[in-house]
Structure 1
Amino acid sequence: MATPTGELDQDQVREFLERVAGDGAAAFAALATSIGARLGLYEAMAGAGALTSGQLAERTGLAERYVREWLAVQVAGEYVRRDPAADTYVLPDEHAAVLADPSAPTYFVGAFRMLKPLYAVEDDLMRAYRTGEGVGWDEHGPELYEGTADFFRPGYVGMLTQEWLPALDGVVAKLERGARVADVGCGFGVSTLLMAQAFPNSRFHGFDYHAHSIGAARREAEKQGLRDRVMFDVAPAAEFPGSGYDLVAFFDCLHDLGDPGAAFRRSRETLAEDGTVLAVEPNASAEPSELVGPIGRAFAATSATLCLPGAVAQHGPQALGNHPGEAALREIAAEAGLRSWRLATESMTNRVYEIRP
């Protein structure tokens, strides 16, 4: 380490130390958040009013001493409120919307469920940083795939059919009449099945190279009674089968590909004459200084530990990370023959692009 050349501003050192200590505390507390979600503690507290640690332990079938210690973490993080006089704890309804209700668009627990599998490959990531190799999606544990689905589901439930698809020119009318849709990089099929529920006259085909995810998607389609018009198959983004698609969609996955240009070319080849390509991508700047803040920081962190290593592992011509910027994506699309590009809509977390030949 280089020796400082001047006298340090100790106030700035203390200020930065407090910030880093806060990050460390949040990292430790994140494990308790994940445990609480997986054990149903937040759900048990939601709408229950004031509970003692014993009552919460009884509701969940857990050991009271551990529940009491877990509650201390929640109080310290201001997730849960405590009445010392009554020795009770309350999860406010507003907090329950974030921690306890998977159907709420504000549910954020999926992010915490992704931490265990990401930390588990820390040594692999260090090796990748030294060698320039990748860490593939299929090298992670199953908790990552489940956590990713949980992470994206609330946003898709709240935005996909209500805002994103209506922002595309003429697409909803086609879906209502009956259209053919390819959902590329579909993962557990959350986006595919939401569209199928909303548009019963259309047929949907989800593709992903990851067999475990396709298996989970098929089971969910069966559970929802949608197998008659929703199919899931293992296929890479550059080689998915079919033709005459009215819509080819990429939900939060284009940047994960080692060759997004090949995926765009295959999309153009399979589109119907007046078909549309939809790309939903993180709303994150390519300029690092513009990523300051919780959302931008989360994107940057997952890019460095998940998205970029996964793309590198595919040995393609590009490894974009999740914040390449609109200009880079637009250029790749144009080179693939998709030259009509429009920002259809955006939110704090996503940008939705309508793309055509």
Structure 2
Amino acid sequence: MSLTAEAPALDMAGAEAFAENVGGVLNSGAVAVMLSIGHRLGLFDVLAALPPSTSAAIAERAELSERYVREWLAVMVMGGIVTYNPAAKTYDLPAEHAACLTREAPLGNLAVYAQAIALIGQMQERLLACFETGEGLAYGDYPCFHQFMAEDSGQTVVPQLFDVVLPLVEGIAERMEIGIDVLDAGCGRGLALIEMAKRFPNSRFTGYDLCADAIEFANETARKAGLANVRFEQRDLTGYGEKSRFDFITTFDAVHDQKDPQALIGGLRGALKPGGVYLMQDIGGSAKLENNHDFPMAGFLYAISCAHCTTVSLGQGGLGLGTMWGWETAKGMLEAAGFRSVERLVLPHDPMNVWFVARV
């Protein structure tokens, strides 16, 4: 009688189906990297502006090498993004595809996020070491990170800032018209704060961010705009302890990757004057893995978390909660910080993010 359990019989059909699925994942990943290259080079914008054209005409308009453009176009054709007419040897980006791939895309430019896939590839060797040591990395270790985040903010926050975002906080626009003190913590390149400073000249705006390159960019942008009511400062918000200084504080996708999110939220709570309001945007996934199967782009977000958000938190000696720390976690931290009321909002057109309005 055998004393060991027999290995289960291999379901060959199931194995082959899974292998085909993995092949599709690899193919899509390669196309995603090429999406990033096309976005960075402006090729989707060129294609959208041209009628069906040859690779030579496309390359000439984009001021790029024809041979490289032709090979890139082949990837786009195989990926179902660009169509190809073999008789005329012309390529075309259908309007329905351009609607989510150009800088003026009405559905938002998804090619922006392809840059994250390329970035993960660039960070692979350093991430391998992190897996072995358990250590993390610094924000500055990631090339072009603030450019990517500024593009993200430029299409998810800034365009809807005055019509959608600020109206989430009842009466805040009217208060800014009169004149109040506003902080954006983790402001990056400061795009949202600069737009608010332009709209509300009677208010005073401050932006803090850990990264010197982002702050330098923000200050230069504000200077060129001639804004005297906004300032940006490089600042590590670990142990942040200003008291009763601001009437309104915002964070846009900036809390989950901090060293100690609970301490930061508590610090922001203390920095609000009586009657002050904190508006917090973050990723709206659940803290429970099993709840995220149907969450938009959940695999992508967990990958970003593994490659960046968890990693930079651990690199600061932090908790490493990650991108998908969960709206439940965020809400619990806001309540633990002692806000008088905490309101959770999800916008119908943007199921990926969650917004909290927390009042002192």
Mapping for residues 121-132 of structure 1, pairs under 5 Å: 121-132=123-134
Query: Judging changes above 3 Å, is the alpha-carbon distance between structure 1 residues 234 and 58 closer, same or farther for their aligned structure 2 residues?
Result: same
1:177 counterpart residue number: 178
2:157, 2:165 within 8 Å by CA — same for their partners in 1? Answer: no
Letter in 2 for 1:214: I
What is aligned with 2:69? Answer: 67
When normalised by structure 2's length, the TM-score is 0.90
Deviation sequence 1:24-66 (CA, Å, 0-9, x none): 1122122222222222211211231211111112112222222
User: How far apart, in 2, do the equivalents of 1:176 and 1:335 lie?
Assistant: 32
| Residues 168, 344 of structure 1: 8 Å contact kept | no
Which residue pairs with 2:334 in the alignment? 333
In 2, the alpha carbon distance for the partners of 1:45 and 1:116 equals 22
Q: Measured at CA, do residues 230 and 242 of structure 1 come closer, stay the same or move farther in structure 2, by a change above 3 Å?
A: farther
Overall identity of the aligned pairs, in %: 32
Correspondence for 2:353: 350
Relative to 1, partners in 2 of residues 1:336 and 1:242: Cα closer, same or farther, differing over 3 Å?
Answer: closer
In the alignment, residue 265 of structure 2 is paired with which amino acid? Answer: F
CA distance change for structure 1 residues 172 and 48 in 2, over 3 Å: closer, same or farther?
same
Structure-to-structure mapping, 1:235-314, within 5 angstroms: 235-237=235-237, 238-239=239-240, 243-292=244-293, 294-314=296-316
Cα shift at 1:103:
7.1
Aligned to 2:59: 57
Aligned 8 A contact 2:244 2:274 in 1: no
- For residues 313 and 329 of structure 2, the distance between their equivalents in structure 1, rounded to whole angstroms, comes to 16
5 Å matches for 1:20-35? 20-35=22-37
Deviations 1:93-120 (A, max 9, x none): 2322322225756112222223344322
Q: The residue matched to 2:72 in structure 1 has which SS?
A: helix
**Structure 1 stretches of at least 4 aligned residues deviating more than 6 Å after TM superposition:** none
Residue of structure 2 aligned with 1:45, choices 44, 47, 51: 47
Paired residue type of 1:66: Y
> Does structure 2 conserve the Cα–Cα contact (< 8 Å) formed by 1:207 and 1:240?
no
Distance 1:241 1:96 in 2: 46
Q: CA RMSD in A?
A: 2.2
Q: Which residue of 2 aligns with 1:15?
A: 17
CA distance in 2, matches of 1:213, 1:166: 27
> 2: distance between equivalents of 1:4 and 1:333?
53
Q: For residues 141-169 of structure 1, what are the alpha-carbon distances to aligned partners after superposition, in whole Å with 9 as ceiling and x for unaligned?
A: 2x222122213321113333221210123
Letter matched to residue 126 of structure 1 = L
Distance 1:199 1:124, change over 3 A: same
Distance 2:39 2:169 in 1: 36
**Cα deviations across residues 210-233 of structure 1 (Å, max 9, x unaligned)?**
11111111122223333x111110
Sort the Cα spacing of 1:153 and 1:103 in 2 relative to 1 into closer, same or farther, 3 A. Answer: farther
- Which amino acid counterpart does residue 120 of structure 1 have in structure 2? Q
Q: Residues of 2 paired with 1:55 and 1:4: CA distance?
A: 63
Unpaired runs of at least 5, structure 2: none
- Tell me which moved more, 275-284 or 321-330: 321-330
